[in-house]
Amino acid sequence: MQRLNHCNVRVINKTGDKMALTGLEIFKLLPNTNCKECGFATCLAFAMRVAAKKINAEVCPYLSEEAKEKLSDSAVQPIKLIEIKSGDKSVKVGEELVMFRHEKKFFRQTLFSICIDDSKDEKEITEKLENIKKVNFNRAGEILKFDLIAVKDKSGDKQKFCRTVHLVKNIIDFPLILISETPEIVEAGLNEIPGDKPLIYAANTKNWEEMTKLAKRYNTSLVVTAENGLKDLSELSGKIKNKGLENIVLNPKSSNSAEILADYTLIRRCALEKNYRNLGFPTLLYLGDEDSFINSVIGICKYASIIIFEDLKEWEYLSLLTLRQNIFSDPQKPLQVNWGIYKVGEPDDKSPFFVTTNFSLTYFIVSTEIEGSGFSGHLLLTDSEGLSVLTAWAAGKFSGKTVGQFVKESGIEKCISHRNIIIPGYVAAISGELEDCLPDWKVYVGPQEASDISSFLNEVWLKENKI
């Protein structure tokens, strides 16, 4: 099998790569008058932002025509944005800018798609789709679920494929991927969902011309695949681009974990670091049953924009959705929920009143522990900009004074008849200042660990409040 290696990258550069310009190269194309009309103090500062693809070069009104032409390549996103639509629901992949999350952030998370095989009977398909619909849960303030359904032509029967597309569409309103190597069958599927913009899988070295025409006619995106490594894949995507189709997703057909890691990393590197246009597209990883869990972990961590699973067990999708959430959260922005009072269970005016920060994970853990304790409660989350309790305290965002102010503004006094507040055990030090701010209140220092909330409520709260 012929695979692309680093030597091939250099070959590609000689044969058509358009290199991204550096900040200094862009600076040389600017007038260097430092007039500030672009909003930056100097032309150099502006050039650096253009090089980082944070601003379009044409914001500078004094660019010569020659400079505009040279800069146009720098302004193009290195990885094309692709949208897949069903009615008013749409998902997007692409437009990534970095190799590593800590450099800025990953913009679009890996989309998960489950495959529906048209050779199965209606009952089996319906059951599978109903189970997919049930995967919908809140973790740290974010809904985790699948994103796409892939309908696969396994039967080779156009009627069956159309019936399956129709059935899927009636049961679940997810954007679709239509899988068939036969353009005629794909077209029949497209006609079942007029107005939608599914993703077509896949153009290969044999059918690419017909598939390209189809994708252009129906204004959809097309997966491009090649059996013999990245060189063939990049050549085929180049041919399709030359026919005028830019909505491309790449599927390198890597055959094992090591190849997945190498191929998807190399595609991202070629797109971002070499600005190599033929590989400047989102990627798709189509997993069979074998090693699908470990390969999907690699795909999520290393640059698969879409993963198609044949099937997933509950423990697998729970782990993978959680992994995906962790990889694709913005490292510069802590996960947070809105500040305010949250009801846990069915609290009444005598229920305990807790306060903590609005870091999503803190909210998730504390509310789960209150719920598990058998008590209902009122939980006030203060606006600590998504910081955890100790970090917020150290940053002065969870002091007695600030907590007291949030208590006053929260309206909790209308919800409870007592004046008892439970603070996290790690910030016992704020209790004095909080009592000064809330003179009518009794401050309880709760447990340090959320897992001890149940014993705290049973041993301290219940005894003192005699509910």
**Where do contacts with ligand SF4 occur on this chain (CB under 6 A)?**
30-31, 33-38, 40, 43, 46, 60, 62
Q: Residue 116's Cα: distance from chain center in Å? A: 23
Supply the minimum distance, in Å, between the C-beta of residue 70 and ligand SF4: 15
Residue recorded with tokens 């447990």? 447
Q: Please identify, using beta-carbon distances, which residue of 36 and 333 lies nearer to ligand SF4.
A: 36
CA 191 – CA 178 distance, rounded (Å) = 12
- Structure token digits, residue 16: 């058509």
Supply the minimum distance, in Å, between the C-beta of residue 66 and ligand SF4: 15
Q: Please identify, using beta-carbon distances, which residue of 25 and 181 lies nearer to ligand SF4.
A: 25
Q: Please identify, using beta-carbon distances, which residue of 59 and 460 lies nearer to ligand SF4.
A: 59
What lies within 8 Å, CB to CB, of 368 at 6+ separation is: 450
Strand partners, 340: 381
Supply the minimum distance, in Å, between the C-beta of residue 63 and ligand SF4: 7
How many Cα atoms within 13 Å fall on the side-chain side of residue 418? 21
CA 184 – CA 252 distance, rounded (Å) = 24
- Structure token digits, residue 303: 């640059």
Give the three-state DSSP class for 313.
coil
CA 81 – CA 99 distance, rounded (Å) = 17
Supply the minimum distance, in Å, between the C-beta of residue 46 and ligand SF4: 4
Residue recorded with tokens 């007592």? 418
**Crossing angle of the two packed helices 292-301 and 257-273, in degrees rounded to 10:** 20
Supply the minimum distance, in Å, between the C-beta of residue 68 and ligand SF4: 12
Supply the minimum distance, in Å, between the C-beta of residue 87 and ligand SF4: 43
Q: Please identify, using beta-carbon distances, which residue of 26 and 250 lies nearer to ligand SF4.
A: 26
CA 93 – CA 83 distance, rounded (Å) = 7
Element (H, E) at 326: helix 314-328
Q: Please identify, using beta-carbon distances, which residue of 30 and 403 lies nearer to ligand SF4.
A: 30
Supply the minimum distance, in Å, between the C-beta of residue 58 and ligand SF4: 10
Q: Please identify, using beta-carbon distances, which residue of 71 and 116 lies nearer to ligand SF4.
A: 71
Decide: 284 and 304 in contact? Cβ < 8 Å: yes
Supply the minimum distance, in Å, between the C-beta of residue 41 and ligand SF4: 8
Q: Please identify, using beta-carbon distances, which residue of 34 and 368 lies nearer to ligand SF4.
A: 34
How many Cα atoms within 13 Å fall on the side-chain side of residue 281? 27
Q: Please identify, using beta-carbon distances, which residue of 59 and 135 lies nearer to ligand SF4.
A: 59
Strand partners, 148: 113
